[in-house]
Amino acid sequence: MKQTGFLYNSLTLLIFCVNIIVVFSVVYVLFDLTGLGRLVEVQAHPSGPAAWAAYLARTMYFSAMTLFSVGYGDIWPVGWSRAVAVIEATVGYILPAVVAAQYLRVFPTRWKS
């Protein structure tokens, strides 16, 4: 029974992280389309019909690297996208603390002496 709860909580956390990545990725795309900010990449951008898919993949990659505080430096934000990246990084710093607090709330007897 506890195994099912752990798997359910893990899957919920995974889906939550994917949702955060997708939402911030859409924000980066919208900022680029409106000219408020963009993501600059070291490598050349592909052109042609598959360019939109590659661009969306880049924004999702940047969003994931920012959320998980990896930041390889191959893509960086410009303009107002910097503020969005700071907000996303803050969410990435707070998320593990919230997960730990929820774990301690769900299983309080393990931590009491």
pTM value is 0.82
pLDDT at position 50 over 80: no
Give the model's pLDDT for residue 80: 96
pLDDT at 11 over 50: yes
Rounded to an integer, what is the distance from CA 25 to the centroid of its chain? 8
User: Is 11 within 8 Å of 49 (Cβ atoms)?
Assistant: no
Mean pLDDT over all residues of the chain?
Answer: 86
- Percentage of the residues of the chain whose pLDDT score is greater than 70: 88
Question: For residue range 58-107, what is the model confidence (pLDDT) as tens digits?
Answer: 999 999 999 998 888 899 999 999 999 999 999 999 998 888 887 777 66
CA-nearest of 22, 80, 84 to 56 is 22
Q: Write down all domains in the chain, each with its CATH number in brackets.
A: 2-108 (1.10.287.70)
- Distance, CA of 113 to CA of 99 (rounded, Å): 22
